[in-house]
């Protein structure tokens, strides 16, 4: 494999940077650094019809969320609207509504859906299973409030990158186990699915490709406390039953330590009869989803994800119309 030249430039930029490695910082400082750095490589912010902060919950428990409503264009009819519940990446430790603002705007605009970005509890202050519990709480609460927000309950997708991809997979399995309605689609961007196995890709790309082993270890040590690594709520590749899972798109990157477990997860879904779109970007690294403003191949991969989401949420739309609208 050959790394994308623009991706290689980003790696060189990071190597020459004076910024300290994230894993040497306090959690608060790491979050602030990531929030500032993440938007510098990302796509331009798409204009929205509205962006609203919502404390989603009931009784005494609430989770902060942000609801994006895109400007209506093209052949998509009016509401109730399809929705993507977005779970951001960042090793369950960093990442925020701010650092994924442009991601959510881009997905909302291109897929012509609303996006609910979830500010789930972060480690190490809130270790496993706090993030899982927050995500499931949001899912249950949202299902009871779809009419309040003008959301079509039959067209709610869930997606996320890295740790957010992990939480997306876990949500789908746990919702099925609990007998809750499932998302209509799951979008998994280089998901972390196996904390119990040291795969070949985790060894091959442990250094020099952004998600380095010391960073993975730092995320792991803050998130995992007194739990077996193969607990499926931590390592969804270890769920016993993959049947009945929502249709999925699983995107992986060639220079990513998590690529093997992402591919293995897609294969398990497919083996269970779940419809799966598998997309592999051989020249990209982990983290490309926030680099579309400077890496052309990353922007193309982001556009593919938006197209996968759009196809799932607008199944009745003619393919030609879908393609034309996405390019506007």
Percentage, residues of the chain above pLDDT 90 = 90
Report which of 149, 68, 130 is spatially closest to residue 102, judged by C-alpha positions.
68
Tokens coding 294 = 């400077």
Q: What is the pLDDT of residue 325?
A: 30
Under DSSP, the state recorded for 237 is: G
User: What is the DSSP track for 89-139?
Assistant: -STTTS--TTTTHHHHHHHHHHHTSEEEEE----TTTS-TTHHHHHHHHHH
Residue 236 pLDDT more than 50?
yes
Rounded CA separation 238/265 (Å): 9
Tell me the domain boundaries of the chain. Answer: 5-326
Report which of 31, 28, 164 is spatially closest to residue 89, judged by C-alpha positions.
164
CATH topology of domain 5-326: Rossmann fold (3.40.50)
User: Cα 248 to chain center, whole Å?
Assistant: 12
73 pLDDT band, cuts 50/70/90, is low
198 pLDDT band, cuts 50/70/90, is confident
Active site residues: 162, 256, 286
- Residue 190's alpha-carbon distances to 11, 32, 259, 268, 322, in angstroms, are 18, 23, 7, 15, 25
Helix axes 130-143, 163-177, angle to 10 degrees: 60
The answer to whether the beta carbons of residues 134 and 63 sit under 8 Å apart is yes
Tokens coding 326 = 């996405």
Residue 35 pLDDT more than 90?
yes
* Residue-level length of the chain: 328
Q: What is the pLDDT of residue 328?
A: 25
């Amino acid at each position: 494999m050959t790394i994308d030249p623009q991706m290689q430039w980003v790696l060189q930029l990071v190597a020459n940077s004076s910024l300290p490695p994230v894993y040497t910082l306090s959690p608060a400082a790491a979050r602030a650094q990531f929030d500032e750095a993440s938007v510098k490589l990302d796509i331009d912010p798409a204009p929205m019809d509205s962006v609203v902060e919502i404390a989603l919950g009931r009784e005494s428990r609430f989770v902060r969320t942000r609801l994006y409503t895109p400007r209506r264009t093209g052949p998509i009819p009016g509401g109730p609207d399809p929705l993507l519940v977005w779970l951001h990446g960042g090793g369950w430790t960093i990442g925020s509504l701010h650092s994924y603002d442009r991601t959510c705007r881009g997905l909302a605009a291109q897929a012509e859906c609303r996006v609910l970005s979830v500010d789930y509890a972060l480690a190490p202050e809130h270790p496993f299973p706090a993030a899982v519990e927050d995500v499931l709480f949001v899912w249950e609460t949202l299902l009871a409030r779809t009419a309040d927000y003008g959301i079509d309950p039959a067209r709610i997708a869930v997606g996320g990158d890295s740790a957010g991809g992990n939480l997306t997979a876990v949500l789908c399995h746990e919702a099925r186990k609990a007998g809750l309605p499932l998302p209509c689609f799951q979008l998994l961007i280089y998901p972390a699915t196996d904390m119990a196995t040291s795969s070949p890709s985790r060894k091959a790309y442990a250094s020099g490709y952004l998600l380095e082993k010391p960073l993975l270890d730092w995320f792991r040590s803050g998130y995992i406390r007194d739990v077996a690594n193969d607990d499926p709520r931590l390592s969804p590749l270890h769920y016993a039953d993959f049947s009945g899972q929502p249709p999925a798109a699983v995107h992986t990157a060639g220079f990513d330590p998590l690529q093997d477990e992402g591919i293995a997860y897609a294969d398990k879904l497919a083996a269970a009869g779940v419809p799966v779109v598998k997309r592999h970007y051989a020249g990209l690294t982990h983290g490309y989803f926030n680099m579309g403003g400077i890496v052309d191949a990353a922007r193309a991969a982001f556009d593919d994800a938006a197209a996968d989401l759009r196809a799932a949420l607008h199944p009745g739309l003619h393919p030609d119309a879908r393609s034309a609208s996405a390019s506007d």
